[in-house]
Amino acid sequence: MSAIVIAFAQRKGGAGKTTLAAHLAIALTQMGYAVGLIDTDPQGSLARWYQTREDRLGGAGTGLGFVATSGWRSPAAISLEGRDCEILLVDTPASADGDVRVAIRASDLVVAPVQPSPVDVWATMPTLQLAQQENVPALLVLNRVPARACLTAAMRERLADYDVGLASVTVGNRIALAASFAQGYGIAEAVPGSHGADEIAALAHEILELLPPAALTRPRNAA
């Protein structure tokens, strides 16, 4: 088995890439896919989430493959972990272009979360340039969007001018997303049927639609 690899990358810290990767991993497992996670960020936030999950559910109960590694080792880790799953999500560090480039180069898609503010949009450009240089498609995701955010529509218009995909799904700034992450869960497990869970599931489906038709072993509507 050779996994589809999706890198979560964003130069600006605090965009929510780690949280988004964890919640999407759970959503994809609930759709029936074998999912793996790799944490290449020295901060180790995804590793802490997984450890919390393992402590709560036991090693056999996490439902995910997981490995933490440093940036320069990530190609070998991706190759090894990708043998045992269908979709491999890679969390990358902020402000470490060398390590991020290595991960992007080994990926099939880059997901770049961005908060709806001009500063965040500007800070996303280096990540998009890296993906373009490595000839890897990228998807921008408006993330942590406050309710009634006045800038959201303007940011969508601004981002639409970039030569990159922009997800139709917007992920709100919801307490349940942070709370379930802190407990080692995905929001689909902690608060099933919630608006947050629906947003993550919709984003997972949108990401699947971007993958090559023959890339996965099951129909995309299998969920």
Q: How far apart are CA 152 and CA 132, in angstroms?
A: 25
Q: What is the pLDDT of residues 109-148, one digit of tens each?
A: 999 999 888 888 888 889 999 999 999 999 999 999 887 6
- Which CATH number is 12's domain given? 3.40.50.300
Supply the pLDDT for residue 148: 66
Within a domain: 179: yes
Interatomic CA distance for residues 206 and 45, integer angstroms = 25
Least confident of 95-109, 110-124, 208-222: 208-222
Give the range with max mean pLDDT: 48-62, 68-82, 88-102.
48-62
Number of domains in the chain: 1
State how far the Cα of 59 lies from the Cα of 128, in Å rounded to an integer.
36
Q: Compute the distance between CA of residue 191 and CA of residue 3 in angstroms, rounded to an integer.
A: 28
Identify the three-state secondary structure at position 194.
coil
CA distance 222 to 33: 10
211 versus 109: which is more confidently predicted?
A: 109
H helical segments located in 32-73: 45-57
Is 19 a domain residue?
A: yes
- Per-residue pLDDT, averaged over 30-34, amounts to 95
pLDDT band at 165; cut points 50, 70, 90: confident
φ, ψ for residue 66, nearest 5 deg? -150, 145
| Side-chain half-sphere CA neighbours of 160 within 13 A | 7
State the Cα torsion 21-58-55-196 to the nearest 10°.
Answer: 40
Q: Indicate whether 223 belongs to any domain.
A: no
What is the residue-averaged pLDDT of the chain?
88
Residues β-bridged to residue 39: 68, 91
Q: How confident is the model at residue 223 (pLDDT cuts 50, 70, 90)?
A: very low
Q: Strand, helix or coil at 161?
A: coil
Q: Give me the pLDDT at residue 86, please.
A: 93
**Helix 17-30 vs helix 175-182: crossing angle, to nearest 10:** 80
Q: What percent of the chain has pLDDT over 70?
A: 90
- Choose between 36 and 123: higher pLDDT: 36
Give the range of the structural domain holding residue 140, as residue numbers without chain letter: 4-218
What is the mean predicted confidence (pLDDT) over 184-203? 97
